[in-house]
Amino acid sequence: MSEAPIKEGYSDDKRYEVFNREFMPHIDSMYNFAFRLTTDEDDANDLVQDTYLKAFRFITSFEQGTNAKAWLFRILKNSFINDYRKKSKEPSKVDYQEVETTYNSEEAADATYTVDLRADAVQDLIGDEVATALNSLPVDFRTVIILCDIEGFTYEEMAKILDIPIGTVRSRLHRARNLLKEKLKNYAGSMGYDA
């Protein structure tokens, strides 16, 4: 907001400078996001590369001083939906809209729904188990948990990245966490916890 947007006429040097200063520091986060979305290293590589090349091409529409990480995540998410999800070999991924409809229709059940899982059972889980539970969620639910709990975005930033209202961020996150608890409960159960 405070700094002026880069003008079309900026020199190549300026473009590289902005690219390196604003975009490259987020490459590890971007790679991890891509890997969690695609669950495949080669696809993650392609997705990150496509995203960074797009970011460079459209660098004039990035406003310096604004949130570069959220801007990049938004491009990556859109590329994933447009280019990767379509050709994914996974059984047809659940569509955002479809997910919302399905779960909204279960609002009544949701009201009394709690997962019987204990905090100490979660503390005993190892990272791989948590990651596998996360990866097993439908991608739309996985996404909100990654953005919020792993990448630390605010609800407002998530709303911008995902193009949805904040209220939807909140409810989707709630449902995603209920699903995750179910998955974690299976691991805890297999470790001998009764809950």
Shortest spacing between CB 31 and another protein, in angstroms: 4
Near another protein by CB under 8 A: residue from 154, 164, 168, 193: 154
Instruction: Rule CB under 8 A: say whether 75 interacts with another protein.
Output: no
Question: Shortest CA distance to 152 belongs to which of 38, 69, 80, 43?
Answer: 69
Instruction: Rule CB under 8 A: say whether 134 interacts with another protein.
Output: yes
91 or 108, CB closer to another protein?
Answer: 108
SS3 173: helix
CB atoms within 10 A of CB 144: 26
Shortest spacing between CB 92 and another protein, in angstroms: 26
Chain centre distance of CA 30:
10
Q: What mask, x for binding another protein by CB under 8 A, covers residues 11 to 50? A: -----x--x----x--xx-xxx--x---------x--xx-
CB atoms within 10 A of CB 148: 20
Instruction: Rule CB under 8 A: say whether 10 interacts with another protein.
Output: no
Q: Output phi, psi for 136, to 5 deg.
A: -80, -5
